[in-house]
Structure 1
């Protein structure tokens, strides 16, 4: 066949799936790529401080499992996850007030995968999912890829509004509520016990699942710990609890857990088999060994102490860095401060000037499933030292000066 005939006979390749076209790239990941230069002081990414990683303890755990049981550590494994790791996580979860057995848990490739597995197991195209507004960006991506109809629930300075949740649930008939009740991403807010109880009651009365995401709960450096929503009456049989090692050990391990009622957990396990068979065997074995021989609580105490200093450096410097009339919170843990510039400011439009001055933040607008607030800003305080934070705030003040 001649080239001319072949050219005439060639049809274009099919288009990409509509779900990909409607789901944009994460602005946070895009900003991280833009600010990867070492001279940039970035308040943009929720990146744990690398100098605080217990590199020696983690390296020792890998050496031990590879020297003592290399055939198991390097082999295929079960989809449910390493029994030792699940037992260790179950013990820690029980100690924090939620009785849990190893068999209640599925190990995931980061808690991000856990949320994807829940979307696969629960959602049909067109199903309604309720989210806090603003909401964790990657969750919005996951629900978009699942073809769900994302419905925002209003929040205030105390987090999700239970009365609004009840009204919207009655109207929209959702299948799932997604919530980060402790040190929420992006706002750093924490739901009170009263609001948690109300969320559980609404979920039980309106008949919906709860995906309770808790990547930051162990990063508390002030106030009293709150019970998981999963422990409140009405929520026990309808809550999937997502846990993560990214913020307490190291994000590069890509390890998380999913605690869910049996039927949902089995469905998520089938979804995981189709996604990746199982999470890295050697990473799970090393994490299990680390938990067995190292003092994670002592490590977390050091991390919390450092993060407290960094939060103070950021929050205490905002009055000089942000325009008069700005508002911000003072979270008792986690990684993020939520700030709002005065009316008329556009954080997205101001970002290029900030980057030119070697400082970065994340505009708040992309976190909204509903009408965005262009003046909102998410600031992470964990990645840089207090001295670097103060320098970054000085640069930010100069960048924002042009807009005043």
Structure 2
């Protein structure tokens, strides 16, 4: 029996239902697996199972308890996520981020241009809250998203709560980077491994939140995202297919570097925005393009490995046009530019992309 079929991951749901029916849900769960496979939405579903289910494990989706948890308004359920330092975070900005997450639990919580983390003060507040009686629920549930972003002092403070949890508290940690968590934290949690979602399931979830999505575009974007649900929603928001086409044009201009005015006209719009998202996305698509070329050159037959399936003809033509290209060197240059773009000290992304084109030119023509 599943507690919420729409969440997917039936094996993990069955494990939890068995534990729930035996009244043996662990005091601490650690949901881990690749980014964008629905772990945070699943954690919210667990909170609803613990607080809004009848004696048969059927969740009342019309109840006020269910709605409050979904909207992050239930006093016994806390959703913790990385935020900017208090000096850089406005309360209304934090509230707006939470409201966006409530609208779509599969989206990423972002604060453009700001470093985020989970600090000691946040965990201190959680520990204080853990000591209070239940307000109206059956269990207190604290969900910590992106738990790898815990600062060392915050992780140590959380460890104390894991060692001596109140009886009415369930902690759910979520991470896509299990290796970054303290071994002592991992050892005190029951771990649930999550696998990537398939194309059909991702498409079904997207349609719930974007009902008018173009099916052909959606199929292409799911591939480009690497079957990552968070990234799929981001790509739908940010004209990803248009930026992918710009990446291909960028390569053409890099080959014909003497047409520098055309190159500048191409990259200037990408670098006009302060958040640099379009430029970063274009570089991401450059990486995918050459990773696909590597796969094709190696004779990879697994269709799932090729991201630009809808551009297969263009890929083959590009390979034929640049038969001596140094692909590994190109990948290294693009990765280096992504790192440079993410460095706030680099104030001129236009210059970065122009220099990248200059460096790619001999690699694309390598004899």
TM-score by length of 1: 0.27
Higher helix share: 2
Higher strand share: 1
Report 1 or 2 for greater relative contact order, CA contacts < 8 Å, sequence distance ≥ 6: 1
TM-score by length of 2: 0.29
